[in-house]
A = this chain, B = another copy of it.
């Protein structure tokens, strides 16, 4: 689907904050960045990340860990922050997302200044996906195989390697792994705040094993490893274990230069078996 400028649901708009008082911000959780009627967890964490860097101690989120207490409804929320420590090279903050007096997300964040000129000193070279070009990866549509409207997919461009698309026709591979591309609405460049969303943008990796309904995130941790170059991200998302109605997922995001820019890990609930 293509959009004209007027229709673009910009990430910078849906994650916009209005300072309300000391360390507190107002935000509107978009009804369009949802799965069914539930806002995406990484999107919620990105609101807390934006609050953390807006406070101005350090400009970039380096590590963020969120625990999810309640799924907020789309609409107005408050972001409350507390600076825990201001250091020379890194600072730590706590942030929470509150809706009508109920805490929905609680997060800890470490911020720093990421050097735009940094380069890898050592890396394993794996597991960067051997991906087809973006154009050769089909875009996911805004309806899950379960029939739920996934509004966020109308705006965010999730393109999957054809070999990862089996679940859309009831033929998952059983590997528990999804590879593909991710782009923000309107092609907006990624930054450390939107990377907090990026590692939670793909469908659950277990769709490649067995389709399940809503997979609510209990915990999401993100490490931002480099400032991303403009352009879409290559994503690898994979699961390791489903046990006790819980699933883990690791997510890796590389920019168009092939640089690892973010790593995410999450523990989520899942109804299988």
19 new A-B contacts at CB < 8 Å, known A110-B218, A114-B244: A63-B67, A63-B218, A65-B65, A65-B108, A65-B221, A67-B110, A92-B106, A122-B241, A122-B242, A123-B241, A124-B175, A124-B238, A223-B265, A223-B267, A225-B241, A225-B244, A240-B263, A243-B260, A263-B265
Known A84-B69, A85-B70; judge A124-B241 contact (CB<8 A).
yes
- Residues in chain B near residue A123, CB distance under 8 A: 240-243
The 8 A CB mask of A219-259 against B (1 = contact, 0 = none) is: 10101011000000000001111111010101010000000
Query: Does A135 interact with chain B (Cβ within 8 Å)?
Result: no
The 8 A CB mask of A59-74 against B (1 = contact, 0 = none) is: 0001101110110000
Query: Does A94 interact with chain B (Cβ within 8 Å)?
Result: yes
Q: How far is the CA of A11 from the CA of B229 in the complex (A)?
A: 46
- Residues in chain B near residue A221, CB distance under 8 A: 65, 219, 221, 265
Query: Does A210 interact with chain B (Cβ within 8 Å)?
Result: yes
A60 to chain B, nearest CB (A): 11
- Which of these, B103, B106, B225, B243, contacts A226 with CB under 8 Å? B243
- Residues in chain B near residue A21, CB distance under 8 A: none
Q: How far is the CA of A254 from the CA of B250 in the complex (A)?
A: 18
- Which of these, B119, B218, B243, contacts A120 with CB under 8 Å? B243
Query: Does A176 interact with chain B (Cβ within 8 Å)?
Result: yes
- Residues in chain B near residue A119, CB distance under 8 A: 243
Q: How far is the CA of A115 from the CA of B115 in the complex (A)?
A: 46
Q: Do residues A122 and B210 form an inter-chain contact, with CB atoms below 8 A?
A: yes
A129 to chain B, nearest CB (A): 14
Question: Could you pull out 23 A-B pairs where Cβ atoms are within 8 angstroms?
Answer: A62-B246, A65-B221, A66-B108, A67-B92, A67-B109, A69-B84, A70-B85, A94-B94, A107-B108, A108-B108, A108-B219, A110-B219, A121-B243, A121-B272, A124-B175, A124-B176, A124-B239, A219-B221, A221-B221, A221-B265, A225-B243, A226-B243, A248-B263
